[in-house]
């Protein structure tokens, strides 16, 4: 085994900087990714980012929609409760006005008539409207409940009560509304409304008093719909509840002055507030109005949970929808990620396979080149001695045997040369040496080489080329291609001739070899350029063909930036066109 052969066998991993199959696999294992891999990573990030942005935009849209609906809902509720508060205010003002009318009547009558005033008969005669109150009467100067519309008068001492004391020291001429009290006379919860009675000299003469059922104010609750947990409240600016109704529960007397809700009411005379009730803790939305000229505030509140129930259900629907869509987007992204990953895996495998195939092909070419080279040396010895025997032997039979050996060895050498050339082109080992070449001289030289063969077959061989046409090319390789084409033309022509011509066409030099030979069927025009493909193997073999000539022509032409094409029909001869660039391309030099 020669030195070169050993080198081929031992160079499995890496040879001349080229990657072998084992090397490609090793690189794949080491995780080196081809350029496609980097693109794939971007695609993955893009999908993830796109998914996140899409989900974000979707949720932002849903939240904006929910927010807008919540605001609309809130405004509608505020409008409704404010309208009810206005009605409540009207109702309260009218009630208080009517009570004050009655008080003024009692005050003036008492100032006129004194203890002779008969309140019961005034009520009976309709001078005092009686539907509003529990009791109407007079507290004398000493603070004793003194006159009343009720038949049975309990003369209770009321000196300590606020609604008496506020009038004793000065005449404010004001109408007073007390905090709810448990009446000593009536025994019921009542709100006392009073006016001062003067003596003729202007000094304190007693107090006209009407006690009212506080829930008369909140009777409005029965006429309007504020929901099951809604509330209607009349509260003094002192923070004490005069009357309150929420559902079936009625309350009076709570002091809510310390609550956050009440403090925000104090800021403005009317408006909207919301928050937990200081009495029952329910979260409500209120509208309130302060009565003009009265230290009283009317409030109408609705339970947030109750009135927002429809909206909350809608909101839940939107959120479920958004969640569903998010899952769909996430699913879609996951699927895309999976597909891209799969695509990347396939691409990676394809690259690895291509690298392996290329490497294997290179290895094969290197091996062939090496083997061909090793075979040529002994073959030249065989050819030399066969020729000697053929020419010098005295024995005619021996000479004939030696002739066969000589012919066969020549054929084998041609085959080896073609294999070697093809292998070198494939392995990238064929170097070109371009130089300006006179085409006419080159055509003449090829013609001269084959003139004898043409004559031997009784064929004419005509060569023509324009004078002065120069092409920058590798002369040796162009001659090699032309020799092949002319040799083939002569080989497959039995009558007529072969014509070799040159011309310039589309800025290229076209060298044309035509013949009047057997021709090639159209379906084999491309096949004849494949290795070892012959139109008629028997015929070709008889002509000494290898089936590699045209394949090598095409490879060499391609290497020089040119091409080889065929035009032919069976029985009508063939035309092979070898086109070359006029100037050699820089990269090929
Ligand atoms: P070979 O060494 O067999 O000639 P080639 O690659 O040069 O190999 O040619 C391939 C086949 O193309 C030939 O075997 C032959 O069948 C066909 N061929 C090539 N040139 C001609 C031609 N001028 N006329 C007819 N057939 C041709």
Nearest CA to ligand 1 atom 4: 545
Q: Indicate the pTM of the whole model.
A: 0.52
Q: Is the CB of 488 under 6 A from ligand 1?
A: yes
**Cα 270 to Cα 235, 238, 241, 276, 285, distances in angstroms:** 13, 16, 17, 19, 14
Q: How far does the chain reach from its first CA to its final CA, in angstroms?
A: 35
Per-residue pLDDT in tens (0 to 9) along the chain, 589 residues? 333 333 333 333 333 333 343 444 444 444 444 444 455 678 888 889 999 999 999 999 999 999 999 999 999 999 999 999 999 899 889 888 889 999 999 999 999 999 899 988 888 887 776 677 778 999 999 999 989 888 777 788 999 999 999 999 999 888 898 888 876 656 678 888 999 999 999 999 999 999 888 887 777 777 777 888 999 999 998 899 988 888 878 888 889 988 888 888 888 889 999 999 988 899 999 999 999 888 889 999 999 999 999 999 999 999 999 999 999 999 999 999 999 889 889 999 999 999 998 888 778 777 877 777 788 888 888 999 999 998 888 889 999 999 999 988 988 888 888 888 887 787 777 888 899 999 999 999 999 999 999 999 999 999 999 999 999 999 999 999 999 999 999 999 999 999 999 999 998 999 999 999 999 999 999 989 988 776 665 555 556 667 889 999 999 999 999 999 999 999 999 999 999 999 876 544 4
From the CA of 547, how far away is ligand 1's center (Å)? Answer: 7
Residue 167 and residue 133 in contact, taking contact as beta carbons nearer than 8 Å: no
Taking the centre of ligand 1 as the mean of its atom positions, its distance from the CA of residue 554, in whole angstroms, is: 13
pLDDT at 586: 52
From atom 13 of ligand 1, which residue's Cα is the shortest distance away?
534
173 contact partners, CB below 8 Å, separation of at least 6? 196
Report how far ligand 1's centroid is from the alpha carbon of 561 (Å): 23
- Closest listed residue to residue 282, CA positions, set 267, 301, 297: 301
Calculate how far, in angstroms, residue 234's C-alpha sits from the geometric centre of ligand 1.
117
Using alpha carbons only, what angle is made at residue 248 by residues 247 and 254, rounded to the nearest 5 degrees?
85
Is the CB of 233 inside a 6 Å radius of any atom of ligand 1? no
* Pairing outcome for strands 231-236 and 296-303: antiparallel
| DSSP bridge partners of 139 | 145, 207
Which 3 state secondary structure label does DSSP give 422?
helix
What's the distance, CA 101 to chain centroid? 75
**What is the DSSP-derived secondary structure letter of residue 534?**
-
Distance (angstroms) between ligand 1 centre and the Cα of 123 equals 140
**Which among 450, 489, 520 is the best mutation to test ligand 1's pocket, defined by most ligand atoms within 8 Å of the CB?**
520
- DSSP assignment of 94-148 equals HHHHHHHHHHHHHHHHHHHHGGG--HHHHHHTTSS--SSEEEEEEE-TTSBEEEE
CB atoms within 10 A of CB 308: 19
528 in contact with ligand 1, CB cutoff 6 A: yes
Is the distance from the beta carbon of residue 564 to the nearest atom of ligand 1 less than 6 Å?
A: no
What integer pLDDT is reported at residue 40 of this predicted model?
64
Q: Which of 269, 359, 264 is nearest to 25 (CA)?
A: 359
What's the CA-to-centroid distance between 529 and ligand 1, angstroms?
A: 9
Of all protein residues, whose CA lies closest to atom 21 belonging to ligand 1?
Answer: 488
């Amino acid at each position: 085994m020669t030195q070169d052969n050993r080198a081929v066998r031992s160079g499995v991993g890496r040879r001349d900087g080229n990657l072998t199959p084992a090397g490609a696999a090793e690189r794949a294992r080491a995780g080196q990714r081809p350029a496609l891999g980097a693109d794939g990573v971007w695609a993955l990030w893009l999908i993830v980012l796109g998914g996140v942005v899409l989900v974000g935009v979707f949720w932002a849209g849903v939240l904006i929609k929910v927010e807008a609906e919540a605001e609309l809902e809130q405004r509608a509720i505020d409008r409704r409760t404010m309208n009810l508060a206005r009605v409540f205010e009207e109702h309260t003002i009218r009630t208080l006005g009517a009570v004050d009318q009655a008080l003024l009547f009692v005050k003036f009558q008492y100032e006129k008539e004194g203890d002779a005033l008969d309140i019961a008969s005034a009520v009976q005669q309709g001078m005092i409207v009686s539907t509003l109150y529990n009791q109407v009467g007079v507290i004398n100067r000493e603070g004793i409940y003194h006159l009343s519309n009720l038949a049975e008068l309990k003369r209770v001492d009321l000196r300590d009560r606020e609604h008496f004391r506020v009038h004793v020291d000065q005449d404010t001429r004001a109408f007073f509304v007390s905090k709810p009290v448990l009446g000593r006379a009536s025994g019921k919860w009542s709100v006392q409304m009073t006016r001062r009675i003067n003596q003729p000299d202007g000094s304190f003469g007693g107090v006209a008093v009407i006690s009212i059922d506080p829930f008369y104010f909140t009777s409005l609750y029965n006429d309007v719909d504020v929901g099951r947990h809604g509330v209607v409240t009349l509260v003094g600016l002192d923070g004490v509840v005069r009357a309150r109704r929420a559902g079936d529960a009625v309350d009076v007397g709570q002091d809510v002055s310390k609550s956050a809700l009440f403090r925000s009411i104090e800021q403005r005379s009317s408006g909207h507030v919301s928050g937990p009730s200081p009495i029952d803790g329910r979260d409500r939305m209120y509208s309130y109005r302060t009565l003009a000229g009265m230290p009283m505030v009317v409030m109408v509140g609705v339970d947030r949970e109750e009135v927002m129930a429809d909206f909350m259900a809608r909101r839940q629907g939107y959120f479920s929808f958004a969640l569903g869509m998010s899952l769909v987007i996430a699913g879609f992204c996951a699927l895309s990620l999976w597909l891209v990953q799969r695509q990347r895996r396939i691409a990676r495998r394809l690259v690895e396979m291509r690298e392996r195939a290329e490497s294997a092909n290179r290895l094969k070419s290197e091996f062939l080149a090496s083997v061909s080279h090793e075979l040529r040396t002994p073959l030249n010895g065989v050819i030399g001695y066969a020729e000697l025997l053929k020419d010098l032997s005295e024995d005619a039979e021996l000479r004939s045997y030696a002739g066969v050996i000589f012919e066969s060895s020549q054929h084998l050498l041609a085959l080896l040369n073609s294999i070697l050339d093809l292998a070198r082109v494939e392995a990238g080992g064929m170097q070109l040496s371009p130089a300006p070449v006179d085409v006419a001289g080159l055509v003449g030289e090829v013609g001269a080489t084959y003139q004898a063969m043409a004559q031997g077959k009784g064929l004419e061989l005509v060569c023509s080329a324009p004078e002065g046409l120069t092409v920058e090319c590798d002369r040796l390789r162009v001659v090699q291609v032309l020799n092949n084409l002319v040799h083939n033309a002569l080989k497959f022509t039995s009558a007529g001739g072969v014509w070799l011509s040159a011309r310039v066409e589309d800025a290229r030099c076209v060298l044309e070899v035509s013949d009047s030979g057997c021709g090639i069927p159209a379906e084999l025009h491309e096949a004849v350029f494949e290795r070892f493909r012959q139109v008629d193997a028997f015929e070709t073999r008889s002509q000494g063909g290898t089936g590699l000539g045209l394949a090598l022509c095409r490879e060499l032409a391609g290497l020089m930036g040119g091409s080889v094409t065929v035009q032919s029909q069976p029985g009508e001869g063939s035309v092979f066109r070898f086109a070359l660039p006029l100037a050699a391309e820089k990269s090929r030099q």
